[in-house]
Amino acid sequence: MKHNLTEMKHDYQNIPIPPELKTRVKQSVAQAKKDSACAADAFPQNRHKATHISKIRRFAFCGIGSAAAAVLTIAVLANSSANIAHAMEEIPVLGTIARVVTFREYQHKENQMQADIKIPEVQVENKEGKVLADATEDMNDAIQKYTKQIIAAYEADVKAAGGEGMQDLTLDYDIVTDNDKLFSLCFQQNIVMASSSLSQKIYHIDKTSGKMITLQDLFLDKTDYQTAISENIKTQMKQQMAEDETKVYWLDSDVPEWDFQHISEDVNFYINESGRLTIVFDECQVAPGYMGIVTFEIPTDVVQDIVKDGYLK
Amino acid sequence: MNLPTTQELVEQELLSNYASMYRLAYTYVKNESDAMDIVQESAYLAIKHAATVKHVDYIRTWIFRIVINTALSALRRNSFEVAAEKIAEQGQNDQYTDFDMMEALNVLNDKERTVIILRYFEDCRLQDIADAMKENLNTVKSILYRSLKKLRIELTEGEICHET
């Protein structure tokens, strides 16, 4: 008997261990830590029902069912005259003040479907405290359009599910930048179904000029900012993957069509506290879903020659 | 302060025991890709629920318990019934495993198998096994006794077949 058990133990211990197992365990650990950290904004009962096995297996294939939400960056510029704008660049005093004055909330709960959407209202004022109606309206229209779209999609899901569905949608916002030059409002959308899908959308108010802009407005005309930034991101991806084996980006991967090539014109961005351009990618855009929302801080010297004055440090 | 410490301990245990977790899972699902999924799933759950660990000494057996539960619920799901086809699809070669051991374990029910593996293959203490399985010590002992008895029959039959 003892002999047989020893043999069995020997056989047992000879079960070969796949070489990639360790990396995959590390990935799970990283994912679990991330999920625990943001558990407060999620609904645990839904998450626990999620079949992590299939979720984990599909990391590499990135959420077949998860909606890759559209990403758009709209910048609202609060001042109207180019002359004034130019003059202000030299004066380190706030020309306009943009702030969130109030917000409305869309809440819905029916069986296992629930949504909680916060819709902020922004007010843009000049330094005398007068409300700049156009700028305020532009910004709020953009926010309305974006949130309406999300609510419509959610309501369509509720209807389609006919009371059977499980979904938890939250949309919250955060002011990510508020410096002399820019006021940026970041929306974070989280859809939890079987797995969760996180996406962000950032609106900017330029405090020293007066039109809606995208990332390219930070740069001088006809300069190839996209390539400069994209190449830097690729370098950062490679470096991070070399340093930490749990990090994975789609770059030189087995499936070339998923590989990160180029940032789009409407890529999400913000200016971080150090005054550096930070590019934001939604879940699954450039990396497997477990990496979450990924951001890359672009060293200013990479775009030094092509960036307009005053935005970056 | 207590919570992150436990989580770190769980992480350490996961990294030093993933091979054992894999073997344990393998005895249930009997193929590489499903066993890896179960280990990943278990690692995820262990970190997620690290805060519920009451005694840090039991983390290792607690992790094995998670593996077992995960493996069992995986087996209940239909997708695992076609496990053999999955391997073929992924173009992996079958790796050699001595199926005497696997077949022998098959005569045991889930509880019996757990006790045998933890006691003899992973060298867990009976008391730890009892804690991990939420059974009392005497129950575990009787499961162990019953399992050994069953195994002896199976192994003996196997040997007879080979010899004749």
pLDDT at residue number A183: 77
Look-up of token digits 């997708």: B79
Just give the CATH number of B1-93.
1.10.1740.10
What tokens were used for A34?
């991330």
Question: pLDDT tens digits for chain B (164 residues)?
Answer: 444 578 888 888 898 889 999 998 888 888 888 899 899 989 988 888 887 877 777 788 888 888 888 888 888 774 545 444 444 444 444 544 555 677 778 788 878 888 888 888 888 888 888 877 778 888 898 988 888 888 775 555 544 444 33
Per-residue pLDDT reduced to its tens digit, A156-184: 878 877 767 777 888 888 777 777 677 77
**Within its chain, how far is the Cα of A54 from the centroid?**
24
Just give the CATH number of A73-303.
3.30.565.40
pLDDT at residue number A92: 34
CA–CA separation, A125 vs A183, rounded Å? 12
**Does A93 have pLDDT greater than 70?**
no
Please judge whether B47 and A25 are an interchain contact, meaning their C-beta atoms are less than 8 angstroms apart. no
pLDDT at residue number B157: 52
- HEC secondary structure over A188-229: EEEEECCCEEEEEEEEEEECCCCCCECHHHHECCCCCHHHHH
Instruction: Compare CB distances from B148 to A1, A12, A29 and report the shortest one's residue.
Output: A1
Pairing of strands A167-178, A182-192: antiparallel
Q: Which of A53-67, A195-209, A279-293, B106-120 has the lowest mean pLDDT?
A: A53-67
Say if residues A148 and A139 touch (Cβ distance below 8 Å).
no
Please judge whether B15 and A25 are an interchain contact, meaning their C-beta atoms are less than 8 angstroms apart. yes
Per-residue pLDDT reduced to its tens digit, B4-48: 578 888 888 898 889 999 998 888 888 888 899 899 989 988 888
Structural domain B98-164, CATH architecture: Orthogonal Bundle (1.10)
pLDDT at residue number A3: 47
In one-letter notation, the amino acid at residue B163 is: E
Contacts of B27 in chain A (CB under 8 A): 12, 15
Which residue has better confidence, A45 or B46? B46
**Window 88-147 of A, Cβ < 8 Å to B:** none
Contacts of A53 in chain B (CB under 8 A): 37-38, 40-41, 70, 74
Q: What mean pLDDT do residues A31-57 have? A: 48
Averaged pLDDT score across all residues of chain A: 72
Per-residue pLDDT reduced to its tens digit, A245-290: 788 888 877 777 778 888 888 888 888 878 889 998 887 788 877 7
| Cα A72 to Cα A93, A187, A204, A213, A265, distances in angstroms | 29, 11, 11, 11, 9
pLDDT at residue number A80: 33
What tokens were used for A57?
């297996």
**Within its chain, how far is the Cα of B73 from the centroid?**
13
**Cβ–Cβ contact B19 with A under 8 A:** yes
Closest by CA to B118, choosing from A9, A4, A14, is A9
Please judge whether B38 and A53 are an interchain contact, meaning their C-beta atoms are less than 8 angstroms apart. yes
Q: A28 falls in which pLDDT band (50, 70, 90)?
A: confident
Any residues with CB less than 8 A from the CB of A194 and at least 6 apart, and which?
A50, A51, A54, A55, A65
CA–CA separation, A76 vs A213, rounded Å? 7
Q: A37 falls in which pLDDT band (50, 70, 90)?
A: low
Q: Which residues of A25-35 are buried (b: 16+ CB within 10 A; e: fewer)?
A: bbbbbbbbbeb
Say if residues A97 and A125 touch (Cβ distance below 8 Å).
yes
pLDDT at residue number A287: 82
Instruction: Compare CB distances from A56 to B11, B18, B40 and report the shortest one's residue.
Output: B40
Per-residue pLDDT reduced to its tens digit, A100-154: 777 778 888 877 788 888 888 887 777 677 777 777 888 888 888 888 888 888 8
DSSP for B29-95, please give it.
Answer: H-SHHHHHHHHHHHHHHHHHTGGG---GGGHHHHHHHHHHHHHHHHHHSGGGGGHHHHHHHTTPPPP
Closest by CA to A150, choosing from A136, A167, A133, is A167
Helix B59-76 crosses helix B32-48 at what angle (to 10 degrees)?
Answer: 130
What tokens were used for B69?
């539960």
Strands (E), A34-153: 73-77, 96-110, 113-126
- A139: closest CA of chain B, how far (Å): 40
**Cβ–Cβ contact A28 with B under 8 A:** yes
pLDDT at residue number A53: 36
Q: What mean pLDDT do residues A222-246 have? A: 88
Residue B147 CB: number of other CB atoms within 10 A?
23
**CA-nearest residue of chain A to B22?**
A17
| Cα A75 to Cα A141, A184, A204, A228, A266, distances in angstroms | 12, 8, 4, 21, 11
Pairing of strands A268-271, A277-281: antiparallel
Q: What mean pLDDT do residues A195-221 have? A: 71
CA–CA separation, A169 vs A256, rounded Å? 32
Please judge whether B22 and A1 are an interchain contact, meaning their C-beta atoms are less than 8 angstroms apart. no
pLDDT at residue number A207: 64
**A123 bridge partner residues:** A99
- A6: closest CA of chain B, how far (Å): 8
Domain coordinates in residue numbering, chain B: 1-93, 98-164
Contacts of B104 in chain A (CB under 8 A): 8
**Does A69 have pLDDT greater than 60?**
no
Say if residues A8 and B101 touch (Cβ distance below 8 Å).
yes
Strand ranges across the sheet with A294-298: A268-271, A277-281, A294-298
DSSP designation for A254: S
**Window 97-136 of B, Cβ < 8 Å to A:** 97-98, 100-102, 104-105, 117, 120-121
pLDDT at residue number B84: 47
Contacts of A46 in chain B (CB under 8 A): none
Q: Which residues of A91-106 are buried (b: 16+ CB within 10 A; e: fewer)?
A: eeebbbbbebeeeeeb
Q: What mean pLDDT do residues A46-59 have? A: 36
Please judge whether A7 and B95 are an interchain contact, meaning their C-beta atoms are less than 8 angstroms apart. no
> What's the pTM?
0.42
**Does A155 have pLDDT greater than 80?**
yes
Please judge whether B48 and A36 are an interchain contact, meaning their C-beta atoms are less than 8 angstroms apart. yes
